[in-house]
Structures are given as structure tokens and as C-alpha cells.
């Protein structure tokens, strides 16, 4: 979920830190360096302008910097790049062509810089994002991981319930958080019972894990690069699809989440499924609304549990927004499932 500008400090590179990391790469003469203020505030990034082109350098955030986890993510990206999938090229080090630099107990990575524009909230880029997600799901079936693959899901997650309890214990939007916990339990139960009634086994394969507009670069309403494979893991495809649908169809007006509409954008929702195509009809689409509600709760809860705020802003309005939208999703489940099936090509 992309949010209006926050006010907490963004992590930055220390004095001399970039020079020490860049010394490991053969990227020519650096003419200009400037901060890149996108993505996680805990993971500083900078653009390097050199006589060989532009690059993006990134320091992994704590908790996302386990070398084995990073190695898995990089190996997956290299395999996808070789298959022609749109993502920035990962730059290897001068000595050994390593995909990361480990320096002073921190992990760094360097990518080619891809020009483009942000998501404009129209149906056209949503359709292409759905198409690219379907391509990813097809390509990763052929990928053989050489490193341990994380397994986690926002669905019916005990750790997420613990975080909800921790937030309430800290008296952060306590009443609303308790209601959000109830909504999460209701959505999880609905997703589980619906899947069982439809006769679908949970199954699983490799997922992107964080499919949202902020992790993509667009050009002429087409996805030209997919970013941030930090959340890649194994799980049911419907979880990736549900999160993508949520992120691409969320509605907002202004900067105050209390003012954001309850309903999703039906045109963007339909466009995403249209792009994903008929492969969606092989999935348990009846679970999508409940899974989307769970994904929304997970999106809100994790940063609040970590910092007491959401994107550097007061937690309360975001919690109330998630409550309203989650209730709307569950209350309009039948209509959303019918729209999903039509959009994916059922009965055509």
C-alpha cells in the first residue's frame, strides 16, 4: 500500500558508507549521487550516475538481511531475468561476481536503474500488472531453488494475532485494534471454510509475496520492471492474487484514511483479473474477498507492531480504514467473486 508522505526519519547512508560499498563494483566513474526516497524507510537507497549509466544501490533493512535469504531472492531474480521477465538487472561485484556486498554486518545490493513512471490508478496498468503476475507464476514453476525457501502466509497466522494483541496491550487505537482482530478471525474462518467447501487443496508454489504498485515501474501503462523480491516465499497462488487485487483496486481520496471510501474500484479489480486471464479460473476464487481482507489487516498490523505508527503517521486512522474496507470486502463477497469469474473469462 502506498501512503501519503510520512514524517518519521528515513534511514540514510552514513559518511563514507557508500564509498566503501561502491569500491566492490566496477561501474566506472561516479559523477553524481542522490538519495532515492521510495520503498521501505528502513532500507536506504541512492542513485549513482556514472559514465556507464545509472544504478540503484540499496542497504537491506535489519530483519531482511539474512545472507541466505538474500541469496535465495537473488538467485530467483537471476533466473527470472534469464527467462525474459521484466526486472532490473542485478549487478555482480568486481571480485567474484557476487550478488551482494557484506560489509560491517550489513548487506548491500546494486541494480541497474530503470526509468519509468508511478502507477496512475487507471485500469490499463492494472490489467498489465495482472498479466505480468500470471507470467511470474508460470515461470517460477520451472525454477529449482538452490537455497531454503521461506514459507509464510498472511492467512490465519498466529504471529499476526500475537501482534494484534501486542498493539492492543500498548493501548494503540485499542478499541479499533480489538475490532480489527475480530475481523481478521472472521475473514480467516471464511477463507478456510470456503476453500474446503469448494474442494480446493491449499497447495503452494513460489510467490512474489508483495505484489503492489509501489514495487513496479510503469511506462505507457505497461510494467517495465518488477522490484523487491524480499517477500518471495512458498504459498498458495490465491494469496499472491488476492494481495495484488487488493493493492491495485484500493481507493483513497486525499491524505486522511478516515476519508477514504469503503468500496474498491471495480474497474481496476476487473482489469487486474482480465490481465491475469483464464488461469485464475483454476484457483479457488471464492476465497478472494476474505483473503483480501486478511491481506489488508496484515498490511496495517505489521508496521504498527514494529513502530507504533503506520508509515510514520498516527495508527488510528489506518486501523479504522482497514476495518471499514475489510467489512466491505466480506459484505460484498458474492458480487466480487462473480466479477472475478467474469473478468477472468468464465462462460466466454
Residue 165 in this model has a pLDDT that exceeds 80 = yes
Query: 61 and 131 in one domain?
Result: no
Query: 181 and 36 in one domain?
Result: no
Give the C-alpha distances (Å, rounded to integers) separating 97 from 90, 119, 344: 10, 33, 42
pLDDT of residue 39: 74
Least confident of 110-124, 185-199, 224-238, 256-270: 185-199
pLDDT, tens digit (0-9, with 9 covering 90-100), for 311-339: 889 999 999 999 999 999 999 999 999 99
Query: 73 and 44 in one domain?
Result: yes
pLDDT, tens digit (0-9, with 9 covering 90-100), for 117-164: 989 999 999 999 999 999 999 999 999 999 999 998 999 999 999 999
Query: 133 and 107 in one domain?
Result: no
Residue 262 in this model has a pLDDT that exceeds 50 = yes
Specify if 173 maps to a domain. yes
Under 8 Å between Cβ of 83 and 139? yes
247 sits in which H/E element: helix 237-249
Which residue, of 60, 77, 112, is where some domain finishes? Answer: 112
Cα 49 from Cα 339, distance rounded (Å): 46
Query: 156 and 29 in one domain?
Result: no
Give the count of domains, the chain: 2
To 10 degrees, what angle do helices 237-249 and 123-139 make? 160
Domain that holds residue 99: 17-112
Query: 246 and 159 in one domain?
Result: yes
DSSP letter, residue 90: B
Query: 334 and 226 in one domain?
Result: yes
Query: 311 and 189 in one domain?
Result: yes
Query: 130 and 49 in one domain?
Result: no
Query: 137 and 77 in one domain?
Result: no
Confidence grade of residue 10 (pLDDT, cut at 50, 70, 90): confident
Query: 92 and 218 in one domain?
Result: no
Which residue, of 58, 82, 112, is where some domain finishes? Answer: 112
Residue 31 CB neighbours (<10 A): 9
Which residue, of 77, 112, 147, is where some domain finishes? Answer: 112
Specify if 271 maps to a domain. yes
Query: 70 and 167 in one domain?
Result: no
Residue 187 CB neighbours (<10 A): 27
Domain with 204 in it: what CATH number? Answer: 3.90.1200.10
Residue 348 in this model has a pLDDT that exceeds 60 = no
Cα 149 from Cα 133, distance rounded (Å): 19
Q: What percent of the chain has pLDDT over 70?
A: 95
Residue 184 in this model has a pLDDT that exceeds 50 = yes
Amino acid at each position: 500500500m502506498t501512503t501519503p508522505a510520512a514524517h518519521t526519519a528515513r534511514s540514510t547512508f552514513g559518511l563514507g558508507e557508500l564509498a566503501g560499498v561502491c569500491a566492490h563494483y566496477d561501474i566506472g566513474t561516479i559523477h553524481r549521487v542522490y538519495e532515492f526516497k521510495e520503498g521501505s524507510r528502513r532500507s536506504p537507497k541512492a542513485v549513482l550516475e556514472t559514465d556507464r549509466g545509472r544504478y540503484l544501490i540499496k542497504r537491506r533493512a535489519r530483519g531482511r538481511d539474512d545472507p541466505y535469504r538474500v541469496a535465495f531472492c537473488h538467485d530467483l531474480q537471476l533466473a527470472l531475468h534469464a527467462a525474459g521477465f521484466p526486472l532490473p538487472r542485478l549487478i555482480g561485484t568486481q571480485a567474484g561476481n557476487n550478488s551482494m556486498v557484506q560489509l560491517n554486518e550489513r548487506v548491500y545490493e546494486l541494480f541497474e536503474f530503470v526509468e519509468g513512471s508511478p502507477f496512475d490508478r487507471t485500469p490499463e496498468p492494472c490489467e498489465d500488472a495482472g498479466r505480468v503476475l500470471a507470467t511470474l507464476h508460470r515461470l517460477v514453476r520451472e525454477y529449482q531453488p538452490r537455497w531454503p525457501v521461506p514459507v509464510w502466509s498472511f492467512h490465519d497466522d498466529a504471529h499476526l494475532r500475537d501482534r494484534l494483541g501486542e498493539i492492543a496491550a500498548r493501548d494503540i487505537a485499542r478499541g479499533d485494534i480489538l475490532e480489527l482482530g475480530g475481523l481478521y478471525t472472521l475473514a480467516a474462518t471464511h477463507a478456510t471454510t470456503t476453500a474446503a467447501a469448494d474442494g480446493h487443496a491449499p497447495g503452494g508454489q513460489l510467490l512474489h509475496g508483495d505484489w503492489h504498485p509501489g514495487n513496479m515501474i510503469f511506462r505507457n501503462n505497461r510494467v517495465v520492471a518488477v522490484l523487491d523480491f524480499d517477500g518471495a516465499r512458498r504459498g498458495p497462488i490465491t494469496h499472491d492474487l488476492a494481495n495484488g487485487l487488493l493493492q491495485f483496486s484500493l481507493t483513497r481520496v486525499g491524505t486522511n484514511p478516515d476519508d477514504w471510501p469503503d468500496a474498491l474500484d471495480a474497474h481496476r479489480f476487473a482489469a487486474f483479473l482480465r490481465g491475469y486471464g483464464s488461469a485464475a479460473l483454476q484457483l479457488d476464487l471464492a476465497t478472494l474477498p476474505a483473503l483480501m481482507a486478511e491481506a489488508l489487516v496484515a498490511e496495517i498490523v505489521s508496521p504498527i507492531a514494529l513502530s507504533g505508527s503506520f508509515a510514520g503517521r498516527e495508527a488510528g486512522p489506518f486501523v479504522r480504514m482497514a476495518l471499514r474496507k475489510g467489512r466491505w470486502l466480506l459484505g460484498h463477497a458474492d458480487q466480487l467473486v462473480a466479477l472475478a469469474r467474469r473478468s477472468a473469462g468464465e462462460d466466454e
